[in-house]
Structure 1
Amino acid sequence: MYIQNKSKEEILEFLNNWGGEITLAKTLEIKFTDIDLEKETLTATMPVQPKVHQPFGILHGGASCVLAETMGSSLSNLFIDGSKYYGVGTNINSNHLRSKKDGIVTAVARFIRKGKTMHVSEIEIRDEKNQLINHTTMTNNIINR
């Protein structure tokens, strides 16, 4: 989706329905909640519940990576002309900084670099107390369709 001439509501509706009913983002109940077109940031939430726990009863690092990659990829694909290009993840570096047993985490993605052929984004995942749970950087290559 190319966001030019789209409202915030249209963009969020698109993101929350992108890919149909059966996607990993939907399985983990990731919900896009905000986009700031001026600052070029994207926000989403994910509930922390047993289906995203590892055996010790805390948020699985892989679930945090899925949230982060969903955010970085979505951010890139929103800011390119999807009729000509698409962004694909080529590198992800994720640091798990705090554990989380339940509640909601909120992820915010922003560009570190937005070039013509490569985007690098930073994704911060925080809890309800605004404590940093995870910090991820992600690289997307922008390739021709």
Structure 2
Amino acid sequence: MKDQTKEEILMFLNNWGEGVTLAKTLEIQFTDIDLENETLTATMPVQPKVHQPFGILHGGASCVLAETLGSSLSNFFIDGEKYYGVGTNINSNHLRSKKDGIVTATARFIRKGKSMHVSEMEIRDEKGVLINHTTMTNTIIRK
């Protein structure tokens, strides 16, 4: 897959999985992948279906966005014929509230080992203000 164009890779990621997935339900859209720097970016609209009762972005929705990116990052940068990466730990800090608009998240590796990946995801609003910072561990398992 790394031989495909950026557009082809993003199309694959945006259509990954059969049927309706949680990422599709929350309208998470992969928007950029940087193969050289090994980063992945996606957006998610902030609307009532991702609100908590106070009318602001639910922390769980932020975690879903972060975990979707972190898991996809790991699984893209391993040999998918032999391995798959599964989330084993997530730590999410909700730093600011958000009522509406779009959030953009970028994932990057902190450590990319053979059996474990640790990544960080930053979720920002339209002005670039940090809304959430998440770290995630994926264990790389042989199929």
Question: Fold-level match, TM-score > 0.5?
Answer: yes
Match of 1:12 among 10, 20, 31: 10
**2-side partners of 1:25 and 1:82: how far apart?**
20
Match of 1:110 among 92, 108, 112: 108
- In the TM superposition, residue 20 of structure 1 has moved relative to its aligned partner by 2.5
Match of residue 55 from structure 2 = 57
> Aligned residue pairs: how many?
143
Percent identity among equivalent residues?
A: 85
Match of residue 77 from structure 2 = 79
Match of residue 95 from structure 1 = 93
**TM-score of the pair, normalised by structure 2:** 0.98
**1-side partners of 2:36 and 2:91: how far apart?**
26
**2-side partners of 1:26 and 1:128: how far apart?**
21
**TM-score of the pair, normalised by structure 1:** 0.97
Superposition RMSD on alpha carbons, in Å?
A: 0.6
1:127-142 to structure 2, matched below 5 A, reads 127-142=125-140
Given residue 23 of structure 1, which amino acid in structure 2 is its aligned partner?
Answer: T
**2-side partners of 1:76 and 1:94: how far apart?**
18
- In the TM superposition, residue 71 of structure 1 has moved relative to its aligned partner by 0.3
Runs of 4+ in 1 over 2 A off after TM superposition: none
- In the TM superposition, residue 6 of structure 1 has moved relative to its aligned partner by 1.9
